[in-house]
């Protein structure tokens, strides 16, 4: 079955616009955070789209919306989907594209291919971004059994509302979080915009996902000696900020030396006492390393740690390296990749293989299912921004690829 791209093109654009309007700010950008009013309206809209396409719909104990096209057999579920929440001042595609694309793909399959052998589902995950409670992947983590009521009680937003309280306001029971866990999903395939500029730079609109990046992240505290900026000679200073500046450069150098696809970033830095006439006595910064190559992740991580410790010692500074997490890369499953590859080849559309530098719900779903990803180009490589955009024809083509891959996985053809 080959779905007509132009049909998807119109529907996906219309639905994305409708979802974007929920939480949209007059000056641009949208914001739907977990369990807020805009999120609630989005959940209702997504539910209505699923019902319109004949899917059986349920909301699980944490607010994930699941649309089901029941199969004739008893095999594990073939699922697709993405997240319905956004970052602050977000765009119209991140997460939303995978939700809308999944609904359209299942609706098209129900009309054109009939009853699947294996049950098909589209899952609108309740949360992925961590914008309100900093509990990233709350929806997919709940499905794979990595959340509980204690976490909901401990997590508090900036207004002082706990995640558990926010759940109760939605009519959800924090005590039932464990019931969101599932073990019946055999395959999961996510459609997503690239969130980078590689495809556009090569004149391509689609890619076969190969892996999701590994992430190593440190909190670093550099300790020097605060002193008068006018009376302390340069050779007698223990300037924490000067040392931190050299460390920032060393992090960049380590990533460049490691080579592509490794990237490293110092994204946050605070200075104490942060005063114009005082030599800084302490600097707190974050260091993040990303690469889909585990061997490179380990070697580059060691290089970064060694460089930072050496700089501190040479400058007479104290340093505390606190490893926050070290998440290994997640390779995509061969059988899901093959379903996507065969569909892309059949379409005759050009594509490339691509690893993701961003995190996705798919990496959590890999704990319980064989997983894969399809990427569609991002204009200007922009994401997490109101400027996030993709050519409508490319969006439609991406949904067509998703439908074809799901057909291969759930219908056996």
Average pLDDT, the chain: 96
Q: What is the pTM (predicted TM-score) of this model? A: 0.91
Q: Please report the pLDDT score of residue 387 as a whole number.
A: 96
* 5-212+329-411 matches 214-327 in fold: no
CA distance 353 to 292: 13
Domain boundaries, given as residue ranges, for the chain: 5-212+329-411, 214-327
pLDDT higher than threshold 90 for residue 27: no
pLDDT in tens, 303-322: 999 999 999 999 999 999 99
Q: Give the chain's radius of gyration (CA, Å).
A: 23
Is the model's pLDDT at 151 over the cut of 60? Answer: yes
Contact 181, 145 (CB under 8 A): yes
For the domain covering 214-327, report its CATH number.
3.30.70.360
pLDDT at site 385:
94
Q: What is the pLDDT of residue 1?
A: 42
Mean pLDDT in residue range 48-62: 98
- pLDDT tens-digit series, residues 222-255: 999 999 999 999 999 999 999 999 999 999 999 9
d(CA 13, CA 93): 10
pLDDT higher than 90, residue 413: no
> What contacts 24+ positions apart, CB below 8 Å, involve 20-23?
20/91, 20/92, 20/96, 23/86
* Residue of 12, 13, 22, 87 lying closest to 382 (CA atoms): 87
- For 247-275, b/e burial (b = at least 16 CB within 10 A) is bbebbeebbeebeebbbbebeebebbeee
| Residue 404 neighbours by CB distance under 10 Å | 23
Q: How confident is the model at residue 2 (pLDDT cuts 50, 70, 90)?
A: very low
- CATH entry 3.40.190.10 includes domain 5-212+329-411: no
């Amino acid at each position: 079955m080959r779905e007509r791209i132009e049909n998807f093109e119109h529907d996906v654009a219309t639905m994305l616009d409708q979802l974007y309007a929920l939480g949209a700010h007059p000056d641009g950008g949208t914001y739907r955070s977990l369990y807020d009013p805009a999120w609630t309206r989005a959940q209702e809209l997504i539910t209505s789209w699923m019902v319109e396409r004949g899917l059986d719909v349920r909301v699980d104990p944490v607010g994930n919306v699941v649309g089901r096209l029941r199969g004739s057999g008893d095999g594990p579920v073939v699922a697709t989907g993405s997240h319905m929440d956004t970052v602050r001042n977000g765009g119209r595609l991140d997460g939303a594209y995978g939700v809308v694309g999944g609904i359209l793909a299942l609706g098209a399959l129900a009309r054109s291919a009939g009853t699947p052998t294996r049950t098909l589902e589209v899952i609108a995950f309740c949360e992925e971004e961590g914008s309100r409670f900093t509990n990233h992947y709350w929806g997919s983590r709940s499905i794979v059994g990595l959340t509980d009521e204690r976490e909901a009680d401990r997590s508090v937003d900036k207004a002082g509302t706990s995640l558990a309280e926010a759940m109760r306001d939605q009519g959800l029971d924090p005590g039932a979080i464990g019931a969101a866990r599932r073990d019946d999903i055999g395959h999961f395939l996510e459609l997503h915009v690239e969130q980078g500029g590689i495809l556009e730079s090569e004149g391509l609109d689609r890619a076969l996902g190969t892996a999701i990046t590994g992430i190593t992240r440190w909190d670093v505290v550099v300790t020097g000696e605060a002193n008068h900026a006018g009376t302390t000679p340069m050779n007698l200073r223990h300037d924490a900020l000067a040392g931190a500046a050299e460390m920032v450069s060393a992090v960049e150098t380590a990533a460049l030396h490691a080579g592509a696809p490794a990237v490293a970033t110092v994204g946050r830095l605070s200075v104490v006492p942060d005063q114009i006439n005082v030599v800084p006595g302490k600097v707190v910064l974050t260091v993040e390393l990303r690469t889909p190559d585990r061997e490179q992740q380990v070697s580059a991580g060691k290089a970064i740690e060694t460089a930072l410790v050496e700089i501190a010692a040479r400058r007479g500074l104290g340093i505390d390296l606190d490893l926050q997490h070290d998440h290994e890369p997640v390779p995509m499953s061969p059988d899901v990749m093959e379903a996507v590859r065969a569909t892309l080849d059949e379409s005759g559309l050009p594509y490339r293989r691509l690893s993701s530098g961003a995190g996705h719900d798919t990496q959590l779903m890999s704990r319980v299912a064989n997983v894969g990803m399809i990427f569609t180009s991002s204009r200007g490589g922009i994401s997490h921004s109101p400027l996030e955009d993709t050519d409508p024809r490319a969006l439609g083509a991406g949904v067509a690829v998703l439908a074809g891959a799901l057909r291969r996985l759930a219908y056996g053809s």
